[in-house]
Amino acid sequence: ACCKGAYAGQSTGACLASLPNPPTQSPTTSGGLDIYYPNYVEWSSGKCVNDRPLPSGRPNYSTQQACCSGAYGGQTNNNCMCDAVGVCYSCTCGTQAERDAAGCTSLTCS
């Protein structure tokens, strides 16, 4: 607001460029990223997300399933894959009622 008020006619954009987080010529894309990364919360509740912005240094994967395999492959409750694939992924995903409603005919859960 200060740049706009004090330097509205400035053709070089020097005032705006000197801001800590200057605006860009192209707007930020909305929606999720085209890649997935582990959210690195408690191991058992960890999953892969595509929320913006991608945290610096975070590994990323082209699909949510690939991210789950790479980042949470040893997760015994399958929380990540249940989120990525759905309740039909494993008997550990959702409740029996949820699996029945989703038509998980390939699973035999006791």
pLDDT one-digit tens code per residue, 51-74 = 999 999 999 999 999 999 999 999
Report d(CA 27, CA 18) in Å as an integer: 18
Structure tokens given for 85: 């694939």
Which of the pair, 72 or 5, is modelled with greater confidence? 72
pLDDT one-digit tens code per residue, 72-107 = 999 999 999 999 999 999 999 999 999 999 999 999
Percent of the chain with pLDDT over 70: 87
CB 50 within 8 A of CB 37: yes
pTM of the model: 0.70
3-state helix, strand, coil in the chain (%, to 5): 35, 5, 60
Percent of the chain with pLDDT over 90: 68
Which of 73, 74, 50, 79 shows the shortest CA–CA distance to 63?
Answer: 50
